[in-house]
């Protein structure tokens, strides 16, 4: 999947993200508080809106995305609070939702439209649907909608803090062991792991058990960043008669014992899980990463940035750190500003960064828009 553009208005707060266009790698830069994280949060909210059902905010949105190279989709909608109770909260419902394929092309087709309580699917009138849920969620099993649903579901918001707290407990499955021994079964299982929403810890455990070649790739990349790491493994132990727990462990040079992940440095563990996220996600996945330097650490910038530049996945990231900003080509920069409740984006080219012989980063930090967060 590729997210090409986004417009988002939170009608509860009146915070508006003016249309922003994304590349295969987009680095959001700007002063603190201008809305970089808000952009990532809006994308993540729309993912949940499409895949998890109920809506919680009054919003208006428009996003253009593609599932493959053959078609683009424009997904737009409006949700509103219908009524308020005694404490001021109210039920939020879809007032309008439209999905159009290949808008503006001869092959343009409206897949569905919901408006004024009526639903049309490929020009056929359907009975009223649950107005608190997206039609993408409701019709996710339809042959036309399912690829779009799966693509949006595959958006990954890398959140180390929530991942770290997860304990992965599994039940031994002899059938799964048998399936994994055939080539077709192994490929099917790999697709499930890549396309699923399981935590990255769980993906790493599956890789260790069923996909040793992929686990080796993760380990080698991890060792390339942390050169003192001699080995990496998953230790399985019994939780009770029916369940197994799993410990991620590493061994370092000069240390004779295996070290559990609870004793890893935060940067090491974050980096391991991020490498897992990139290696064990679908080729077309969209990965969101807020504050690169806090999420991963400076020591792995070169390796991970190189991975993002060469990978077939799409990355939208934020950072304040000069080394990271310099490491990412300025064609990938989106300079974010905020005027009142409007969040705007501009390219480096629009600010004429790179036209002189001066360092691009120095030109960036000397921009008044970058320093103040406003372009007025």
Predicted pLDDT at 74 = 97
Same domain, 23 and 56: yes
Predicted pLDDT at 367 = 87
Same domain, 137 and 169: no
Structural domains in the chain (count)? 2
Same domain, 90 and 204: no
- Rounded Cα gap, residues 181 and 68, in angstroms: 31
- Statement: residue 189 has pLDDT above 70: yes
Question: Final residue of a domain: which of 230, 259, 284?
Answer: 284
User: Do the domain assignments include residue 70?
Assistant: yes
3-class DSSP state for residue 256? coil
Choice among 223-227, 231-235, 302-306 with the minimum mean pLDDT:
302-306
Segment 43-58 mean pLDDT: 87
- Rounded Cα gap, residues 194 and 229, in angstroms: 26
Q: How many C-alpha atoms does 228 have within 13 Å on its Cβ side?
A: 8
Segment 310-333 mean pLDDT: 84
Work out the pLDDT band at 252, boundaries 50, 70, 90. Answer: very high
Planar angle of CA 191, 193, 196, nearest 5 degrees = 95
Question: Final residue of a domain: which of 260, 284, 308?
Answer: 284
Same domain, 270 and 180: yes
Q: What pTM was computed for the model?
A: 0.88
Question: Final residue of a domain: which of 253, 269, 284?
Answer: 284
3-class DSSP state for residue 341? coil
Same domain, 268 and 369: no
What would you measure as the largest C-alpha separation in the chain, in angstroms?
70
User: Do the domain assignments include residue 291?
Assistant: no
Same domain, 81 and 141: yes
Segment 27-33 mean pLDDT: 91
pLDDT over 90 percentage in the chain:
44
Choice among 119-128, 140-149, 212-221, 318-327 with the minimum mean pLDDT:
318-327
Cβ-based neighbours of 126, under 8 Å, separated by 6 or more: 119, 120
Planar angle of CA 14, 16, 20, nearest 5 degrees = 170
Predicted pLDDT at 161 = 77
Predicted pLDDT at 356 = 64
User: Do the domain assignments include residue 10?
Assistant: yes
Same domain, 146 and 172: no
- Statement: residue 310 has pLDDT above 60: yes
Planar angle of CA 288, 289, 290, nearest 5 degrees = 125
Report which listed range, 6-15, 181-190, 257-266, is most confident.
6-15
- Statement: residue 174 has pLDDT above 70: no
- Statement: residue 164 has pLDDT above 90: no
3-class DSSP state for residue 129? coil
Predicted pLDDT at 138 = 92
Same domain, 82 and 165: no
- Rounded Cα gap, residues 61 and 97, in angstroms: 9
Same domain, 132 and 260: no
User: Do the domain assignments include residue 322?
Assistant: no
User: Do the domain assignments include residue 305?
Assistant: no
Segment 304-314 mean pLDDT: 72
Classify burial at 46, counting beta carbons within 10 Å of its beta carbon; exposed 0-12, middle 13-18, buried 19 or more. Answer: buried
Same domain, 100 and 34: yes
Work out the pLDDT band at 303, boundaries 50, 70, 90. Answer: low
* Nearest partner of 272 among 218, 197, 217, 216, judged by Cα: 218
Predicted pLDDT at 135 = 94
Contacts 24+ apart (CB under 8 A), 185-188: 186/210, 186/211
Q: Which domain holds residue 55?
A: 1-155+329-376
Per residue in 54-72, is it b (16+ CB within 10 Å) or e — as a string?
Answer: ebeebbbbbbbbbbeeeeb
Same domain, 6 and 143: yes
Predicted pLDDT at 300 = 66
Same domain, 186 and 334: no
Predicted pLDDT at 346 = 95
């Amino acid at each position: 999947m590729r997210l090409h553009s986004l417009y988002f208005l939170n009608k509860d707060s009146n915070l508006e993200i003016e249309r922003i266009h994304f590349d295969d790698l987009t680095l959001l830069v700007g002063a603190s508080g201008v809305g970089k994280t808000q952009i990532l949060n809006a994308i993540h909210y729309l993912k949940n809106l499409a895949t998890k059902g109920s809506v919680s905010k009054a919003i208006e949105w428009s996003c253009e995305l593609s599932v493959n190279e053959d078609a683009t989709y424009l997904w737009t909608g409006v949700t509103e609070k219908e009524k308020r109770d005694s404490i001021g909260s109210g039920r939020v419902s879809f007032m309008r939702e439209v999905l159009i394929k290949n808008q503006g092309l001869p092959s343009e087709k409206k897949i569905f439209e919901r408006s004024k309580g009526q639903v049309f699917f490929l020009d056929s009138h359907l009975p009223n649907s649950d107005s608190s849920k997206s039609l993408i969620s409701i019709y996710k099993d339809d042959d036309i909608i399912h690829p779009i649903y799966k693509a949006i579901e595959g958006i990954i918001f890398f959140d180390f803090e929530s991942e770290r707290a997860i304990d992965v407990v599994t039940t031994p499955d002899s059938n799964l062991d048998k399936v994994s021994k055939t080539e077709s079964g192994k490929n099917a299982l790999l697709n499930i792991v890549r396309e699923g929403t399981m935590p990255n810890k769980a993906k790493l455990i599956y890789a260790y058990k069923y996909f040793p070649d992929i686990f080796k790739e993760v380990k080698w990349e991890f060792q390339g960043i942390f050169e003192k790491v001699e080995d990496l493994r998953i230790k399985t132990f019994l939780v009770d008669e029916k369940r197994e727990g799993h410990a991620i462990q590493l061994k370092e040079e000069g240390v004779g014992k295996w070290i559990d992940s609870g004793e890893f440095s935060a940067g090491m563990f974050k980096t391991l899980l991020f490498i897992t996220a990139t290696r064990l996600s679908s080729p077309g996945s969209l990965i969101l990463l807020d504050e690169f330097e806090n999420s991963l650490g400076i020591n792995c910038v070169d390796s991970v940035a190189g991975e993002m530049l060469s990978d077939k996945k799409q990355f939208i990231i934020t950072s304040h750190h000069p080394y990271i900003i310099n490491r990412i080509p300025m064609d990938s920069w989106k300079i974010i500003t905020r005027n009142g409740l409007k969040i705007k984006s501009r390219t480096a080219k629009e600010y004429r960064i790179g036209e002189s012989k001066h360092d691009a980063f120095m030109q960036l930090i000397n921009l008044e828009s970058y320093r103040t967060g406003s372009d007025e």
